[in-house]
Structure 1
């Protein structure tokens, strides 16, 4: 009899719940990525990264769904992967025609700029999870764009603060051949001046990438790199090699026994697979179970973008993109991002405030802002372009 009563109660509960489920408010979010040209790995241990950005957005939407079951909200992710020569303007127009007002863009800066020009005319909010370009937060900023990926200025400042803590004041700067490498090198120069450092030597990397994997490549590098790194004495070799063409070759081969840092060696980044602190392990495990690989900084930025949308939707009890955007831009918004501090958006350029992680190949070494770097508002604003320095004019 008791079993029968329990069964009747369960069926009654499901029937009563059905109208509520039918009334769930649905919010569609898009993620746009672009195919990248194939690159030669430096090491056979390098992971093959597929669907970068899209995988992070999927996890963020899945996390939103968990809470949405209790708030009567349902989230749908629409994925658009652009071919290398595909026009992004047509893609975002199609998304706008489908009524999507929130788009996560895990793309390069040029693609993001094209998307932003259309977003400004179609009432779409972009969340940049792939382009670190400082210009997109300054003279080329858009009122319709928020940034969850750290800027190059934030990365450089986070590294410089750690160098200040270590008193590594004399830098040898090595810059790669790609445009992004040159922009990162400029961010390093600005950070050096900002925090009282000195760049005592600068050189451009001119060797062909990949020769370290040939039968005699290591012998060639063992001869060339000591010659390349000769010059005035320095405390740390700072590398600007975003594409990973040569940075791995430097450590252990320099003319002087000095640490290597930047994009290689001791790395400054928005996220790393080695991060375990602040509950990050559970995020790492969930991502690896879903994507069958490790979480990159772009994946994390896309996850943070999706979660920011979800957090604003929960707090406002709304699925209206305008209401969600307004809350994300408010002082009340904070995202728990597994990096030890709540993360909100700066009102002057739309950049998400967040710590910068300093990591090596296996462990978290430190996190910036470092102790003692104070700010009149948030200490996180000691990283990157501050309000008084910003060239963004909405």
Structure 2
């Protein structure tokens, strides 16, 4: 009997050793010089995104300790003007699993490298809709919600509140223009009216002049129920609220915002994630942190379920109907097989509270209500996942 027990124990040890999986992940970041803005109240943390990946790594390692997994994260950060492609080639030489923190064009440069053909690139920080559409790549999966997912969430709330007539003020930065375009698309998709729109091109110091300039500027807008702001670099939008000619709520980039994550998200176990993150980074979790965390946890879940750290096997499992990720948003999250986007609920928040969680009740879909947010299969212009 004793010999049988010893034999069984030795077989378990042998199985554990043979099942040992080493998972090397590279966080590849292209540093970008922040555009000048009027206010310095919102400094960008130096570890934004990276901290989210580190917390995700710790979560993976906790489970991996019992599964024979050995986790490692290397951070490669390229200074503005540096050779991002060369850094990517070097990173791909050490791992086929990259979490990429970079603007859309830089991400596409990496995706099109010959060395990236068999890799998985997790887009953690770029919300550009074109990355999920005409410029999609089969080796790129998107952990951060697209601009259209965020603006669709906001449009659903406007329909719910019957705020049918909208006006739009947008900035001149490329991110502002892209977000404004997503807003227009969502308003049309959900049957809302864009009564008027105007470009914000003031170069005056709104910290001193907002109470004079904003009423005059918004006086020209046609009648509307809510004023939408496209100011993704957070330059002027904060000065619009409470200074409009007509008393109207503000939403979009300011006021009521649709985001991947916010410190006010506390239900569905989210407070546990918030606490773990704050303990690690000594600051609240931001949307890009959540995108990086979700990317790392996707890798962790796939490695555990697929029993492999090889990119082709992981990609097949991640895009299958079997994959689910618990994202602390109240519903299991999964990836869309037509464009590689992570389906996920979108919190609609103010600075102090969660107002709603999209998709809202009543917005139905034949397979998943989460697919009412962003590009659905019949609407997609992405062909890379079907070729």
TM-score, normalization by structure 1: 0.90
* 1:316 is the counterpart of 2:306: yes
Report the secondary structure of 1:200's partner residue.
strand
Asked if 1:33 corresponds to 2:29, the answer is yes
2:364 matched to which residue of 1?
Answer: 374
Conserved? CA contact 1:102–1:126, under 8 Å: yes
Structure 1 residues 120, 389: closer, same or farther in 2, change over 3 A?
farther
Structure 1 SS opposite 2:66 = helix
Deviation at 1:140, TM superposition (A): 0.6
Following the alignment from structure 1 to structure 2, what is the Cα–Cα distance between the partners of residues 119 and 250? 47
For residue 24 of structure 1, report the CA deviation from its aligned partner.
3.4
2:156 to 146, 161, 164: 161
CA distance in 2, matches of 1:338, 1:116: 29
Give CA-to-partner distance per residue, 1:204-260, whole Å, 9 cap, x none: 011127x244xxx1xx11010001111221110001111001111111111111100
The answer to whether the Cα contact below 8 Å between 1:96 and 1:122 also exists between their aligned partners in 2 is no
Q: Report the Cα offset of residue 355 of structure 1.
A: 0.7
Q: 2:66 aligns with which of 70, 87, 97?
A: 70
1:54 maps to 50
Is 1:176 the equivalent of 2:165?
A: no
| Aligned equivalent of 1:358, options 333, 348, 351 | 348
* Structure 1 residue 46, shift from structure 2 partner: 3.0
Deviation, structure 1 residue 305: 0.3
Q: Please give the per-residue CA displacement for 1:353-388, whole angstroms capped at 9, x wherever unaligned.
A: 001110000111101111000011100000011111
Helix, strand or coil at the partner of 2:70 = strand
Decide whether aligned partners of structure 1 residues 130 and 170 sit closer, same or farther in structure 2, where only a CA change above 3 A counts: same
Please say if 1:87 is aligned against 2:83: yes
* Counterpart residue number, 2:108: 113
Provide the C-alpha distance between the structure 1 equivalents of 2:318 and 2:17, rounded to a whole number of angstroms.
Answer: 27
Whether the 8 Å contact between 2:92 and 2:116 is mirrored in structure 1 is no
Q: Which residue of 2 aligns with 1:102?
A: 97
Alpha-carbon distance between aligned partners in 2 of 1:131 and 1:310, rounded to the nearest angstrom: 21
SS at match of 2:81: coil
Find out whether 1:234 has 2:224 as its counterpart: yes
- Secondary structure of 2:269 counterpart: helix
Per-residue displacement from partner, 1:137-193 (whole Å, max 9, x unpaired)? Answer: 111100101001111111110000000001111111011111111111111111111
Inter-CA distance 142–119: structure 2 relative to 1 (3 Å threshold): farther
Choose the corresponding residue for 2:212, options 215, 223, 228. 223
Deviations 1:112-137 (Å, cap 9, x if unpaired)?
A: 11111116754111010111111111
Equivalent in the alignment of 2:381: 391
Equivalent residue number for residue 133 of structure 1: 128
SS in 1 for 2:233: coil
Q: 1:22 to 1:389 in 2, by over 3 A?
A: closer
Aligned length: 373
Residue aligned with 1:385, SS = coil
Return the offset for 1:69: 0.5
SS in 1 for 2:301: helix
TM-score (norm: length of structure 2): 0.92
1:277 shift after superposition: 1.1
* Deviation, structure 1 residue 316: 1.6
Q: Does residue 1:196 correspond to 2:191, yes or no?
A: yes
Partner Cα distance (1:192, 1:163) in 2: 9
Point out where structure 1 has 5 or more consecutive residues left out of the alignment. Answer: 1-12
Secondary structure of the 2:113 match is: helix
Secondary structure (helix, strand or coil) at the match of 2:377 reads: coil
* Pair 134,119 (structure 1): closer, same or farther in 2 beyond 3 Å: farther
Aligned residues of 1:150 and 1:351 also touching (Cα < 8 A): yes
CA contact (8 A) 2:156 2:358 kept: yes
Shift of 1:23: 7.1
Q: For the structure 1 residues 19 and 324, does the alpha-carbon distance in structure 2 shift closer, same or farther, using more than 3 Å as the test?
A: closer
- Distance in 1 (alpha carbons) for counterparts of 2:146 and 2:99: 16
Which of 20, 23, 26 does residue 24 from structure 1 map onto?
Answer: 20
Aligned partner of residue 154 in structure 1, secondary structure: helix
